[in-house]
Amino acid sequence: MTDVLLIGAAPLPIETEQVTGGGLRTWHFLQALIGAGHHVTLIANRTHGLYPPDLPPIRTTSYPTWTYHNVADAIWHDPRALRLLIEQTKKSCVVAVTTSAASISSDKMAYHPLWADLYGSLMAEAQLKALVYADDAHLDYFWRQEYRAVGRADRFSTVSDRQQWALIGELGAVGRLNQRTAGYAFAHTIPIASEPAPFVQSGFHLRGEIVPEDAFVILHSGGFNTWTDVDTLVDALERVMAQYAYVYLVATGGTIVGHDDLTYGRFQRRVEESVHRDRYVLRGWVSNADLPAYYLESDVAVCTDRYAYEARLGSRTRVLDWLRAGLPCVLSSLTELATAIRSHDAGLVYRAEDAHALASCLAWCVEHRNELKLMGAKGRDLLKNHFGFAKTAEPLLEWVADPQHAPDFGHPVTLIQPAQTLIMQMREAVRQRRLSFSLALRLWPVVARMMPYPVQQRLAALGLRLLRMPK
């Protein structure tokens, strides 16, 4: 048994708050580790805006095989508070889930072996963030996280083979592909995963309460992220709704607070302009207990992607819930996951940004309900056989059994570095008369040292509201 310090994201699925992709990925790694007999201490960043504001800065819960420290976002970025918590934790190695956690860990783990799970390609996500907000200043903030993680961790995991190759390019750029690491396996692919047990439906029902009993329900669940192709989605739905009067779109989820405050608003505006707006049912973020009803009572789920490197390198966590529920899906062809789903006949794929192709797929689903049910059953088999917690995490479990540093540990070779110094960023902020997200987080540790926790909370909330405004 190994004592593992797991650093990740919250909320977790066992909590009542809205679960994020990072929280699901953290749960994936946690379940794999405790399932293998390791004792885990989890420190998870409490996603800002999802928890009641009156919680203590650190909330600790003990379980038989793991301990959970749920940490406020203000504490997460306070180097003194987080370092003290980390130092008090018994550990033989550290596993950081998400690039944010890997970045934090890289700053504070001087000696312990560190595994960094880069949950999606951060710089590809940064590109879309810059697009949606029309502000390339976001690139610096994301690159600083990526640079710290890539420059320090001893072993890495990615969500796809494609992302693994992109990561290897970054490792070369920062000097990690050197004489000492020749022949060393830096990176492994750990696809997204889910629990195989069927969903249990609560007393809530979608049909007969929210939509007619005989409706054909197309589900869009999860946050409307920077990669969501709202226009292709609505354009395709307009064609299908015009052809079939009993087709409804049910959307759960919405704005991703702290990351994308604009895309869902665009979707809402498109829906409001539609002549079929009465058949767009926007439910917003719904309770974890009610979500299974949406999965189990829908006919097909849909996920639309902008044509971007983010999709080609990344994955789609929400799709695993659909597979678990036996819900067939229609996806763009961009992700590796979509390729696996199509090859197992668990869903359909369309050409990204092609509304006609998406509408054709959805119309086929309306006309072939029996085939859809077979697709759903194949989806459940695909999940059970290929996307379980332990099976996907085998490379991690092998390393944790005997964690070691990378061969170049303690022998850095410095090549590409973050582009802007603190002084350069401050000069740019004065010139433009506005504070960038990157500079704000670089200054935050100074603020944290000077302010008590309640003041930190208020300042963080105010600052985030200002920083998220479109430029």
Q: Determine which of 100-114, 275-289, 418-432, 456-470 has the lowest per-residue pLDDT on average.
A: 456-470
Residue reference for tokens 């405790």: 34
CA 351 to chain centroid, in Å, comes to 23
In the predicted model, what is the mean pLDDT of residues 210-224?
96
Distance between CA atoms of residues 127 and 227, nearest Å: 10
Residues 36 and 224: their CA atoms lie apart, in Å, by 35
Strand pairing category for 155-158 and 114-117? parallel
Q: What pLDDT was estimated at residue 109?
A: 80
- The residue ranking higher by pLDDT, 469 or 249, is 249
Instruction: Say whether 216-386 and 3-193+393-467 share the same fold.
Output: yes
Estimate to the nearest angstrom the gap between the alpha carbon of 140 and the chain centroid: 20
Residue 468, pLDDT score = 47
pLDDT score recorded for residue 250 = 98
Distances (CA, A) of 208 to 78, 185, 412: 49, 54, 63
Is the per-residue pLDDT at 466 higher than 80?
Answer: no
Confidence tier at 471 by pLDDT (50, 70, 90): very low
* φ/ψ of residue 195, rounded to 5: -70, 140
Query: How many whole angstroms separate alpha carbon 7 and alpha carbon 10?
Result: 10
3-state secondary structure of 300: strand
Q: With a cut of 70, say whether residue 465 has pLDDT above it.
A: no
pLDDT at 110 over 60: yes
* Mean local confidence (pLDDT), 43-53: 89
Residue 417 CA: distances (Å) to CA of 101, 305, 357, 421: 19, 31, 43, 10
Q: What is the DSSP string of 418-433?
A: -S--HHHHHHHHHHHT
Half-sphere exposure of residue 249, counting CA atoms within 13 Å on the CB side?
27
Is the model's pLDDT at 467 over the cut of 60?
no
Contacts of 168-174 with C-beta under 8 Å, sequence gap 24+, read 170/146, 173/415, 173/416, 174/147, 174/150, 174/414, 174/415, 174/416, 174/417
Residue carrying the six token digits 């015009």: 242
Q: With the CA atoms of 98, 99, 105 and 110 taken in that order, what torsion angle do they form, in degrees rounded to the nearest 10? A: 130
Distance CA(329)–CA(118), nearest Å, equals: 26
Query: 300-303 and 329-332: which strand pairing?
Result: parallel
Q: Give pLDDT, residue 25.
A: 97
In CATH, the number for domain 216-386 is 3.40.50.2000
Output the CA angle 464-290-30, nearest 5 degrees. Answer: 65
pLDDT at 464 over 70: no
Q: List all residues 6 or more positions away from 121 whose beta carbon is below 8 Å from its beta carbon.
A: 158, 163, 166, 309, 310, 313, 314
Angle at 60 between CA 193 and CA 445, to 5 degrees: 90
- The residue among 149, 190, 139 whose CA lies nearest residue 171 is 149
What CA–CA distance (Å, rounded) separates 343 from 288? 31
SS3 state of residue 99: helix
Over residues 315-335, mean pLDDT: 97
Q: Residue 110: CB partners within 8 Å, gap ≥ 6?
A: none
DSSP code string of 367-433: H-HHHHHHHHHHHHHHHHHH--HHHHTHHHHHHHHS----TTTT-----S--S--HHHHHHHHHHHT
Q: Rounded to 10 degrees, what is the CA torsion of 261, 267, 268, 269? A: 110
| In the chain, domain spans | 3-193+393-467, 216-386
Q: Is the pLDDT of residue 215 over 60?
A: yes
Alpha helices in 117-229 (DSSP H): 122-133, 137-152, 161-173
DSSP 8-state secondary structure symbol assigned to residue 364? H
Confidence of residue 462 (pLDDT cuts 50, 70, 90): low
Secondary structure letter of residue 293 according to DSSP: H
The CATH superfamily label for domain 3-193+393-467 reads: Glycogen Phosphorylase B; (3.40.50.2000)
Reported residue count of the chain is 471
Range from 45-54, 248-257, 337-346, 426-435 carrying the lowest mean pLDDT: 426-435
Integer Cα distance of 454 and 395 in angstroms: 42
pLDDT of 6 above 60 = yes
Segment 145-191, tens digit of pLDDT: 999 999 999 999 999 999 999 999 999 999 999 999 999 999 999 99
Q: What is the mean pLDDT of the chain?
A: 90
Q: What are phi and psi of 18, to 5 degrees?
A: -55, 125
With 0-12 CB in 10 A as exposed, 13-18 as middle and 19+ as buried, what is 386?
Answer: middle
